[in-house]
Amino acid sequence: MTYHTPVLIKEVVNQLQPRRGGLYVDCTVGGAGHAREVLRACGPEGQLVGLDWDEEAIAASRERLVEFGARVQLVRANYVELEKVLMSLRVTAVDGVVFDLGVSSRQFDEPGRGFSFQREGPLDMRMSRQPRESHGERGATAQDILRTAGLDELARIFRVYGEERRARAIAREIVAEREHTPLETTTQLARLVESVLGPKHGGIHPATRVFQALRIAVNDELGNLKRGLETATQFLKSDGRIAVISFHSLEDRIVKRFFVEKSTGCTCPTDLPACACGRKETLRIVTRKPITAGEVEVRNNPRARSAKLRVAEKL
C-alpha cells in the first residue's frame, strides 16, 4: 500500500540525530516515511510510537512498518492527546519527536474526504471520521460550518485561517447562496468562490485559501498544534530534539514563536537585583532559519516546495 511521498526525510533524520536504542515519537505518522527512516537510524534496539488521527494512515503505517515488529507502537489519536497516549504506554520521556503537519497527498486524492476542490466530493474535511469516544459524535464537517456559521464567523475563518483578503465578500455570497441552494460538494464551493474572486490567473486557484481555512477550522489544527508542541517538549529528554515540518505560514509562525518563547530566559529589567519573572530556557533553537527542500526534491515532489523544517533541542 502506498500513501504519499513524505518531504525532507534526509533532513529530518540528520537534524533529529537518532540515538542507538532511543525512543522516538512520530506525531503524524501518515504513510510512515519519516518513521521508517528514524527506526533504521536508531538501530535494532530503537523504538517508535506513531500517532495519526486518520485511521487509513494507521493502516498504511502498520503495513509499511511490519518489518520492525514490536519496535513500533501505532495509535489512532490526534497529537493533542500525546500525553494520554504516552502515559498509557508507560512512557515518561522520549529522545525525539517529529511533526509533519498538513494533509497527505493521499487524503487530497480521495474525493470522499472533501479536501480538494479539484475533485467532486462531499464537503467533509475531517482528518478523522471515527466517532469521538466521549459522546459518539463524529464532529462538525465543513458543510456543517458553511450551513450554520453566521456572516461574521465565516469571514473570520476565511480571514484568519486562510489569510483571504476578500473574506467578507466570500462569506456574504455563501450566506446568500445557502438561502436557496445548500452547499454540499467541493466543486459547488469552488465555483462560488471563483464567482467572487474571478478565475485563476497563474499561481494558486482562487478557492485554495478558503479550503485551507475550512480544513483548519474543522480540525482545530492551530489550537491542536500549540498544545501538541507543549506536550512534546515536556516529554523530551535533555538533548532530545523536536522536528516540525509545516506547509503554510500560519503553522510556521506558531512553531517559530513557540521555539523562540521556549528558548528565552529571564525577561526582567536588567536593573533588578534578582529575577522576578522565573522564566527559564527549556529549548535551544537548532535551525535559525527553516530548512527547505532542494531543487531535485521539489522537481520530484512539488508538494515539497512549501515545506519548512524547524528543529529545537531540549536543554
**Dihedral sign computed on CA atoms, order 40, 36, 52, 240:** positive
Q: Which three cell numbers stand for residue 269?
A: 529589567
Please tell me the pTM assigned to this model.
0.89
Q: Residue 135 pLDDT more than 80? A: no
- Domains and their CATH numbers in the chain: 9-100+221-314 (3.40.50.150), 131-219 (1.10.150.170)
253: left (phi over 0), alpha (psi -120 to 50) or beta: alpha
User: What pLDDT is stored for residue 131 in this prediction?
Assistant: 52
For 197, list phi and psi in degrees, rounded to 5.
-95, -15
User: What pLDDT is stored for residue 1 in this prediction?
Assistant: 43
123, β-bridge pairs: none
For 285, list phi and psi in degrees, rounded to 5.
-70, 125
Q: Residue 128 pLDDT more than 80? A: no
Write out the E strands in 117-231: none
User: What pLDDT is stored for residue 4 in this prediction?
Assistant: 63
**Dihedral sign computed on CA atoms, order 97, 246, 302, 158:** positive
Q: Residue 17 pLDDT more than 80? A: yes
Q: Which three cell numbers stand for residue 310?
A: 524547524
Q: Which three cell numbers stand for residue 58?
A: 494507521
**pLDDT tens figures, 226-280:** 999 999 999 999 999 999 999 999 999 999 999 999 999 888 888 888 888 888 9
Q: Residue 117 pLDDT more than 50? A: yes
Range name among 15-19, 69-73, 97-101, 138-142 with the lowest pLDDT average: 138-142
Mean pLDDT of 42-47: 96
Whether residue 234 contacts residue 226, with contact meaning beta carbons closer than 8 Å, is answered with no
Q: Coil, helix or strand for 193?
A: helix
The arrangement of strands across the sheet holding 23-26 comes to: 72-76, 47-52, 23-26, 94-100, 236-246, 308-314, 283-285
The per-residue b/e assignment along 123-155, b for 16 or more CB within 10 angstroms, e otherwise, is bbbbbbeeeeeeeeeebbbbbebbeebeeeebb
Range name among 41-50, 200-209, 221-230, 291-300 with the lowest pLDDT average: 200-209
Q: Please state the separation of Cα 113 from the chain's center in Å.
A: 16
**Number of residues assigned to the chain:** 315
Q: How does residue 65 score in pLDDT terms, banded at 50, 70 and 90?
A: very high
User: What pLDDT is stored for residue 104 in this prediction?
Assistant: 67
Q: Residue 217 pLDDT more than 80? A: yes
Whether residue 304 contacts residue 253, with contact meaning beta carbons closer than 8 Å, is answered with no
**Strand (E) or helix (H) holding 100:** strand 94-100
Q: Residue 108 pLDDT more than 80? A: no
Whether residue 183 contacts residue 147, with contact meaning beta carbons closer than 8 Å, is answered with yes
Q: How does residue 91 score in pLDDT terms, banded at 50, 70 and 90?
A: very high
Averaged pLDDT score across all residues of the chain: 92
Mean pLDDT of 154-176: 97
Residue 223: other Cβ atoms inside 10 A: 12
Mean pLDDT of 140-147: 95
Q: Residue 202 pLDDT more than 70? A: no
As a whole number of angstroms, the distance between CA 194 and CA 240 comes to 47
Q: What does DSSP assign to residue 309?
A: E
Q: Residue 219 pLDDT more than 50? A: yes
Tell me what percent of the residues of the chain surpass a pLDDT of 90: 78
283-285/308-314 β-pairing: antiparallel
